[in-house]
Amino acid sequence: MKTGATRVLIANRGEIAVRAARACKRLGLGSVAVFSSADRGSPHTWLADRAVCIGPAPAGQSYLDQDALLHVAMSTGCNLVYPGYGFLAENAGFAERCAAEGLVFVGPPADGIRLMGDKARARRAAAEHGVPVVPGSTDTFVDAEVALAAAADIGYPLLLKASAGGGGRGMRVVERAEEFTRLFDQASNEAREAFSDPAIYLERYFPLVRHIEVQVFADRHGNVVDLGERDCSVQRRHQKLVEESPASVLTGPERQALLEAAVGLARGVGYLGAGTVEFIFDESSREACFIEMNTRIQVEHPVTEERVGVDLVVEQLRVALGEPLSLPPRESWRAVHAMEFRLNAEDPASGFRPTPGVLGRWRPPSGPEIRIDTFVFESMRVLPFYDSMLAKLIVTGADRESAMARARHALDSLEVDGIATTAPFHRALLDDPDFRANRVSTRWVEETFLPGWNPAQSKA
């Protein structure tokens, strides 16, 4: 690949910024990291070829400051802007501004982000391309009274979702019409604060479902492929905690139908780059319905990497540079089961309260089929301004049972102090009979596991 003087602005922080800096080195690309004043000295700043302070600690004055990011990109001679996940990764306006300045935004073009980022439009697009969808509104709403009329047609329980975002923000479950207005206003206000867009989309709520997603990738040469599926059903407050691949709950024909639907949708909307098509799956009826598409790389992409045998961040950069996909054929994928556990700076014994502070001892596990993606180090100050994720523990095994056994060993080997983490939660999870038997749903953690868990008895 001829890259010349190609240089990448890494418009992010933390673990994904570390990954991006390493991917640039692997491809022989120059890299420029940005950092807030609070992140000075963070690993991504010294892994990149150059680092520039972007502003003070608050994200709105640093990592979300589009003017500052574009100024750094232009003044340092960058050709590409890599957004990772979070912050501006799914901001169509930022992608548009990059293009206007002659910069390549590593992701789909602005029109694609807008289409799939608007949940109502994405739902219509999915239906147009033959993908089954969850019953819901055809429009978005900013007025609770107007939305209430549409809610009556859909039926209760309902799920209110921020049209412009994800990650559980701007989301509420409405069980009865009497609580609709109050919860709608809460969701709309939260959406306005998180995404600068108060619009809410209504969707029928299914209480006991799986969350299964398909990784897709598309290039500028008409190639669109799937890289398998992930089961992300273990969640709390709509935030994923554990992800695994393949989704053991699916039969062969069910899996094939989901993969084909995801590729058909990506091809139909002219998608480019890495994306994830997300479905809910009802085990009782064996039905799957499209819920949304994330137009970026996902936090949980390493479980796919472990099966497919490819660096997806490297592939993102290659595709952005106009290269065709270079993904391994399906017959060469590893016959393994992969699992990812998010290690967050949170205290699960106190309602998952964030625990910023100085990280003391940090000795992550190592060994065959154990992978740690992180950016932290001993004596590092964990900041209160950003996402609480410290690391991702990824393990693989010949099957789900062996992957869980390896995860138990890895968590037992982890040495961490100074702040509370979610490691004890994950260790207890691995001993739970429901989790071991794969009897989970998106509500299982909150409704079944946590009420019966005694943190004082945890092994980690």
User: Domain check: are 200 and 217 in the same one?
Assistant: no
pLDDT band per the 50, 70, 90 thresholds, residue 2: very low
pLDDT band per the 50, 70, 90 thresholds, residue 351: very high
Residues 6+ apart with CB under 8 A from 367: 409, 410, 413
pLDDT at residue 410, rounded to an integer: 98
Q: Which residues are annotated as catalytic?
A: 296
User: Domain check: are 393 and 262 in the same one?
Assistant: yes
pLDDT at residue 214, rounded to an integer: 98
Please, what is the average pLDDT of the chain? 95
User: Domain check: are 200 and 51 in the same one?
Assistant: no
Q: How far is CA 86 from CA 31, 148, 424, in A?
A: 19, 31, 26
Reported as a single tens digit per residue, the pLDDT across 313-323 is: 999 999 999 99
Q: Pairing between strand 415-416 and 362-363?
A: antiparallel
Cβ atoms 8, 317 nearer than 8 A: yes
Determine the Cα–Cα distance for residues 281 and 246; give it in Å rounded to an integer.
Answer: 14
Determine the Cα–Cα distance for residues 198 and 88; give it in Å rounded to an integer.
Answer: 18
User: Domain check: are 333 and 217 in the same one?
Assistant: yes
The residue-averaged pLDDT of 277-292 equals: 94
Determine the Cα–Cα distance for residues 20 and 317; give it in Å rounded to an integer.
Answer: 9
CATH number of the domain residue 52 falls in:
3.40.50.20
Examine residue 126 and state whether it is found in any structural domain, yes or no: no
pTM: 0.89
Which of 244 and 457 is assigned the larger pLDDT? Answer: 244
User: Domain check: are 293 and 351 in the same one?
Assistant: yes
pLDDT band per the 50, 70, 90 thresholds, residue 167: low
pLDDT at residue 459, rounded to an integer: 58
Domain-ending residue, one of 106, 121, 147: 106
pLDDT at 185 over 90: yes
Examine residue 112 and state whether it is found in any structural domain, yes or no: no
User: Domain check: are 410 and 292 in the same one?
Assistant: yes
The residue-averaged pLDDT of 145-168 equals: 88
Report helix, strand or coil for 32: strand
pLDDT band per the 50, 70, 90 thresholds, residue 3: very low
User: Domain check: are 228 and 313 in the same one?
Assistant: yes
pLDDT at residue 280, rounded to an integer: 95
pLDDT at residue 207, rounded to an integer: 79
Examine residue 125 and state whether it is found in any structural domain, yes or no: no
Determine the Cα–Cα distance for residues 313 and 460; give it in Å rounded to an integer.
Answer: 32
The residue-averaged pLDDT of 222-226 equals: 97
User: Domain check: are 144 and 98 in the same one?
Assistant: no
Examine residue 127 and state whether it is found in any structural domain, yes or no: no
Examine residue 317 and state whether it is found in any structural domain, yes or no: yes
Give the residue numbers spanning the domain of 384: 210-457
Cβ atoms 352, 422 nearer than 8 A: yes
User: Domain check: are 215 and 196 in the same one?
Assistant: no
pLDDT at residue 1, rounded to an integer: 43
Report helix, strand or coil for 384: coil
Percent of the chain at pLDDT exceeding 70: 98
User: Domain check: are 229 and 165 in the same one?
Assistant: no
Examine residue 114 and state whether it is found in any structural domain, yes or no: no
pLDDT at 346 over 90: yes
Domain-ending residue, one of 90, 106, 122: 106
Domain-ending residue, one of 106, 125, 158: 106
Reported as a single tens digit per residue, the pLDDT across 381-425 is: 999 999 999 999 999 999 999 999 999 999 999 999 999 999 999
pLDDT at residue 458, rounded to an integer: 67
User: Domain check: are 81 and 186 in the same one?
Assistant: no
Reported as a single tens digit per residue, the pLDDT across 93-140 is: 999 999 999 999 999 999 999 999 888 899 899 999 999 998 888 889
CATH number of the domain residue 351 falls in:
3.30.470.20
Which range has the worst mean pLDDT, 287-291, 339-343, 425-429?
287-291
User: Domain check: are 167 and 245 in the same one?
Assistant: no
pLDDT at 16 over 60: yes
Q: What is the total count of domains within the chain?
A: 3
Reported as a single tens digit per residue, the pLDDT across 22-63 is: 999 999 999 999 999 999 999 999 999 999 999 999 999 999
Examine residue 316 and state whether it is found in any structural domain, yes or no: yes
Examine residue 18 and state whether it is found in any structural domain, yes or no: yes
pLDDT at 4 over 80: no
